[in-house]
């Protein structure tokens, strides 16, 4: 029996991770190809792959993927550029925290999807509306999580910097930000996953391109294979971005994420 919190080797982690996907697809194949679930409601893996190949080669699905990725990256980068500095200021300065924290805590519970009708009125159904949905869904989460991380900085580091003659600004720039940079990077990695849910919701309403648009069109045709393929593509892109984020974090902050 493996002990709690005891790490496993990298090769073991890879084998276990792949094993789950193998079991998942095996169960899916048995349920659909074995006739336990109607293919009208759930396409089998073979049909899904065939439909996916048709989407990629005949219906320009690669363009839809590129548009969705651009929307996620664009909205998320804008949200991070606004949220990280505000979060650092909230965590570092208690008056700023007292001023902003009630509103940020209130706003982060508001579902981004609820703003879509208003955003369509304000920004139309173009790219700005999609970017704003991602921005609203991400910015308040990042602000609060960064503020908590910065606010929990070890006090002995701060006191040591003051003892060595550091200014208040120096404390922020040379202690608080470097000490919490690995945690901030991890926060961004987690919130990026949430940004994908927001963009798909935005694309389901008032969009003429994107993965979400393809999924809603496939629903009208009862093409469950295409819908599942679109969902799997989202998961694959998210998994790749997650691995890239982790690799960058390990390289930039080896003392924290090794």
Domain locations in the chain? 41-257
Residue where the block lists tokens 């997650």: 242
At residue 258, the pLDDT reads 44
How many degrees, rounded to 5, is the angle at CA 222 between CA 25 and CA 131?
85
Are 189 and 249 a contacting pair, CB within 8 Å? yes
Are 48 and 228 a contacting pair, CB within 8 Å? yes
> How many Å apart are CA 92 and CA 84, to the nearest integer?
12
> How many Å apart are CA 43 and CA 118, to the nearest integer?
36
Tens digits of pLDDT across the chain (258 residues): 567 767 778 788 888 888 999 999 999 899 888 888 887 788 889 999 999 999 988 888 999 899 999 999 999 999 999 999 999 999 888 899 999 999 999 988 888 888 888 888 888 777 888 889 899 989 999 999 999 999 888 887 777 777 777 777 877 888 888 888 889 999 999 999 888 888 888 887 767 788 888 888 888 788 889 999 999 999 899 889 888 888 888 888 876 644
CB atoms within 10 A of CB 203: 24
At residue 74, the pLDDT reads 92
At residue 148, the pLDDT reads 92
Total residue length of the chain: 258
Are 189 and 246 a contacting pair, CB within 8 Å? yes
> How many Å apart are CA 88 and CA 58, to the nearest integer?
48
> How many Å apart are CA 84 and CA 185, to the nearest integer?
10
Residue where the block lists tokens 């095996």: 26
At residue 256, the pLDDT reads 66
pTM (2 d.p.): 0.84
- Right CATH for 41-257 from 2.60.120.260, 3.40.1670.10, 1.10.3720.10, 3.10.50.40: 1.10.3720.10
């Amino acid at each position: 029996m493996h002990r709690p919190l005891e790490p496993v080797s990298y090769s073991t982690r890879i084998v276990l991770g792949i094993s789950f996907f193998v079991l998942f697809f095996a169960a899916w194949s048995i349920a659909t190809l074995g006739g336990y679930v109607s293919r009208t409601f759930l396409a089998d893996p073979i049909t899904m792959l065939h439909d996916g190949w048709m989407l990629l080669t005949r219906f320009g699905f690669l363009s839809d993927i590129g548009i969705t990725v651009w929307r996620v990256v664009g909205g998320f980068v804008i949200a991070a550029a606004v949220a990280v500095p505000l979060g650092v200021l909230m965590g570092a300065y208690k008056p700023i925290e007292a001023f902003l924290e009630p509103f940020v805590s209130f706003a982060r519970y508001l579902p981004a999807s609820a703003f879509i009708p208003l955003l369509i009125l304000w920004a139309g159904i173009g790219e700005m509306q999609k970017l704003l949905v991602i921005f609203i869904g991400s910015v308040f989460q990042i602000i609060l999580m960064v503020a908590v991380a910065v606010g929990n900085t070890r006090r002995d580091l701060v006191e040591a910097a003051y003892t060595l003659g550091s200014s208040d600004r120096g404390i922020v720039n040379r202690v608080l930000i470097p000490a919490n940079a690995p945690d901030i990077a991890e926060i961004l990695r987690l919130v990026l996953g949430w940004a994908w849910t927001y963009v798909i919701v935005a694309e389901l309403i008032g969009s003429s391109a994107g993965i979400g648009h393809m999924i809603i069109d496939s629903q009208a045709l009862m093409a469950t294979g295409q819908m599942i393929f679109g969902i799997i593509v989202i998961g694959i892109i998210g998994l790749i971005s997650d691995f890239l984020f982790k690799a960058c974090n390990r390289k930039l902050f080896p003392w924290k994420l090794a």
